[in-house]
């Protein structure tokens, strides 16, 4: 069941966030990107870095680079005042006639999980593997169900959880 995303008032505090967004299936991903950026802006995020990549398969290498650079030691070397609070990954994979989409989806999911575990930076996985364009429209273009908005809300919530553990 596709749920409506509830409006929440989350504050970003001093949070620094990154969004990695695929260019492939741009109509859908761009809508999620706009929604995520709006949510971060509303929350008062200090910084939101956006990195565009060709497709979903390329998202993990950028997530790994950002997470590694965000480690406390790397942050001091690169002169970032604070590490990233969370990384949001946005993409849309539409199933076709072969299993290629499933392989891409599984590889991306596995890689993103490993990146957050290795570097201790929340990686919000909103790389959607969908059956068809109707599902993409419902999850990406409908403002009440836009998964970009939901991803930003999750990033804000995880940033709060992580800061509470420090």
For the annotated catalytic residues, the residue numbers are 100
3-class DSSP state of 1: coil
Is there a contact between 59 and 66 (Cβ–Cβ < 8 Å)? no
Helix (H) or strand (E) holding 123: strand 123-130
Is there a contact between 116 and 49 (Cβ–Cβ < 8 Å)? no
Q: What angle do CA 143, 154, 17 make, to 5 degrees?
A: 100
Q: Which residues contact 113 (CB under 8 A, 6 or more apart)?
A: 123, 125
Residue matched to tokens 């403002």: 143
Is there a contact between 136 and 92 (Cβ–Cβ < 8 Å)? yes
Separation between Cα atoms, residue 100 and residue 145, nearest integer Å: 27
């Amino acid at each position: 069941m596709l749920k409506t995303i509830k409006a929440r008032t989350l504050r970003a505090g001093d949070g620094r966030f990154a969004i990695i967004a695929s260019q492939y299936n741009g109509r859908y991903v761009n809508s999620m990107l706009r929604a995520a950026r709006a949510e971060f802006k509303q929350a008062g995020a200090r910084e939101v870095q956006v990195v565009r990549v060709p497709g979903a398969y390329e998202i993990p290498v950028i997530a790994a680079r950002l997470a590694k650079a965000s480690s406390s030691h790397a942050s001091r070397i690169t002169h970032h005042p604070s590490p990233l609070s969370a990384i949001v990954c946005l993409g849309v994979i539409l199933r076709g006639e072969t299993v290629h989409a499933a392989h891409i989806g599984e590889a991306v999911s596995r890689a993103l999980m490993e990146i957050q575990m290795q570097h201790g930076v929340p990686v919000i996985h909103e790389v959607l593997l969908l059956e068809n364009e109707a599902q993409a429209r419902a999850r990406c273009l409908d403002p009440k169900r836009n998964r970009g908005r939901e991803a930003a809300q999750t990033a804000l919530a995880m940033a709060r959880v992580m800061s509470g553990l420090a």
